[in-house]
Structure 1
Amino acid sequence: MAQSKPQRPWLKWAERVLLVLLLLVGLTLVFSSQIESYWIQWQSHQKVTNISQQEVKRGEQQTGTYNYKNVQAVSENAIVQSEKARKTDAIGSIEIPALKINLPIFKGLNSENLTIGAGTMKPEQKLGEGNYTLAGHHMQNPDVLFSPLAKAQKDQVVTVKAGKQTCRYRITKIKVVPETDVSVLNDVPGKKLLTLVTCASGNPGETRRLIVTGELMK
């Protein structure tokens, strides 16, 4: 009678390693969105709490890009992009305590920078003058980036810092418009405004835009 060959110890070890790897891959796929959201929030917090005046000066000297069509949705490369964004010089911050928003502001609209903060939408705009416009992503996670703007209400206060200047705005208008309506970025004679722009939802392919407008508080 032929004797069965004993199973090699290294083969059992390899099987166990393979099972562990498959388990880790499965967990990563299941919780990838949660991991991504946590990472973005952490990178954003690290950035906004460590902005110095020296960094702001460097950020203001950069040349921003303002082509809205080139801005891409947050992708599977968000972790890598957010790490690059954290190393980019910011020009200020935006805080809405009622919505738990506290984000860095970058010059221009850059897909990497928007993974952790907001971007200015017009060149040469100045805080406290005309219509100061900022854009940010609306994620499926309602607590990340500009997603909380979906719960914005009139009279909530927005604090924006740029350089050595700090301005407080009171939200006066909230509306949804088609993505083609760029009139919301225009200055309004006699008014000092803040306009926040994000997608109307976190759904892929969303074509509407949520517009939150505030007026400068005296």
Structure 2
Amino acid sequence: MRWIKWLSRILIGGVCVWAGLVLYGYHLTQQRSIPPVAIVGRNQRAVTARRHRLITQAAYPHTLARGHNPAYAQALIQADQYTAQQAIGLVCIPAAKIILPIFPGTSDFALLNGVGTYWRNQRLGQGNYVVAAHNLSGQKALLNPMTAVKPGQHIYLTDFVHLATYTAVSNRVVTDRHSELLAVPGPHQPAEVTLFRCVGGIGTPWREVLQGRLTSEQWLNQAAPALLRQMRLTVNGTVTAYQVSRSRSATPLARWGLTNYQNIMHQWGWAVGVLIAAWLIDVFGTLRQRRAPVSH
């Protein structure tokens, strides 16, 4: 019957729209845009007091795993608010186009919104400043792009008061048994920075570890204006501000797709593909019938 045929088309068309929203949600996780601005502090004392308070309150679990894309999508939706409230610094690696907030501790929200500090007592420009992020399979997000960093390239970190410049000395994949990479250098050795993430699936023993040595340190308000712009920082007298958002704003429907795209496509991707293929075959068949010459 004709009404059944049209009903099937409507249902299949709805599935296509649904799949489109899911794919658009995935697309949103890949996008960056000009973000809003958050005020870090009115003066250095306020910034330092805020940082110490957040470090004291943070949790430092040292069991890291691969991040799940739906969890990342959910974290991305709340990134602006979380970053404005919790960020204690920024890391910028121009060679890999990485600009990420630094959070105290290694909670999932910290490791899915930027990088988290590994030790409670670590200080920028001193010892070994260790930060980590979750690994996201198949995405150029968080620290995944740091694979492109080569020795000699710069790594910039700021705690919103100081700016530390490190020069990359090694970038390699090792097992989690290489705990010496997280060790503090000796008293006569330069300070270091260590950035790492998991490589592989859940429970993987492999880590990508990027290390750099401190080459210079200065007050943030004395940094080159071009570098501040690259780091999305504004220092106006005693006021420090930074841009916090990492993704385009999403409509409620797009947010639904953003948080569910991986589960849907993994569990029902085959069904969506079959329905879309059936719909396309039906559409082409209808068009072909309409164009066919009428016999008398």
1:196–1:211 contact (8 Å) kept in structure 2: yes
Secondary structure of 1:77's match?
A: helix
Unaligned runs of 5+ in 1: none
1:158 alignment partner, SS class: strand
One-letter code of the match for 1:197?
A: F
* Higher RCO (CA 8 Å, separation ≥ 6 residues): 2
Q: Which residue of 1 aligns with 2:27?
A: 35
Unaligned runs of 5+ in 2: 217-296
Which amino acid in structure 1 is aligned with residue 116 of structure 2?
A: G
| Aligned partner of residue 94 in structure 1, secondary structure | strand
Mapping of 1:64-213 within 5 angstroms?
A: 64-69=58-63, 73-88=67-82, 89-141=86-138, 143-189=140-186, 190=188, 191-201=190-200, 203-213=201-211
Take 2:141 and 2:27, find their aligned partners in 1: how far apart are those partners? 12
Match of 1:53 in 2: 40
Change (3 A) 1:215 1:156: same
Structure of higher CA gyration radius: 2
For 2:183, the aligned partner's letter is: N
Q: CA deviation at 1:205?
A: 4.7
CA drift of 1:206 comes to 3.3
What letter is aligned with 2:11? Answer: L
* C-alpha distance 187-51 of structure 1, shift in aligned 2 (>3 A): farther
Which deviates more from structure 2 when the two are superposed, residues 192-201 or residues 151-160?
192-201
Q: Which has the higher helix share?
A: 2
Q: TM-score, normalised by structure 2?
A: 0.60
TM-score, with structure 1 as normaliser:
0.79
| Aligned mates of 1:142, 1:72 — CA distance in 2 | 12
Give the total of aligned pairs: 204
User: How far does residue 72 in structure 1 lie from its aligned partner after superposition?
Assistant: 5.7
Distance (whole Å) between structure 1 residues aligned to residue 38 and residue 87 of structure 2 = 7
SS at match of 1:129: coil
Deviation at 1:210, TM superposition (A): 1.0
Aligned to 2:19: 26
Sequence identity (%):
22
**Separation in 2 of the partners of 1:37 and 1:75?**
9
Shift of 1:80: 2.0
Q: After superposition, what is the alpha-carbon deviation per residue over 1:77-107, rounded to whole angstroms, capped at 9, x for unaligned?
A: 3222223343122001000111111111111
CA distance 1:208–1:175, change in 2 (3 Å): same
Shift in Å, 1:118: 0.8
Once residues 139 and 152 of structure 2 are traced to their aligned partners in structure 1, the CA distance between those partners, rounded to angstroms, is: 21
**CA distances 1:161-195 after superposition (whole Å, capped 9, x unpaired):** 11311100000122222124322111011220001
For residues 135 and 64 of structure 2, the distance between their equivalents in structure 1, rounded to whole angstroms, comes to 16
Confirm or deny: 8 A CA contact 1:36 1:78 kept in the other structure. no
Give me the whole-angstrom Cα distance separating, in 2, the residues matched to 1:115 and 1:23.
30
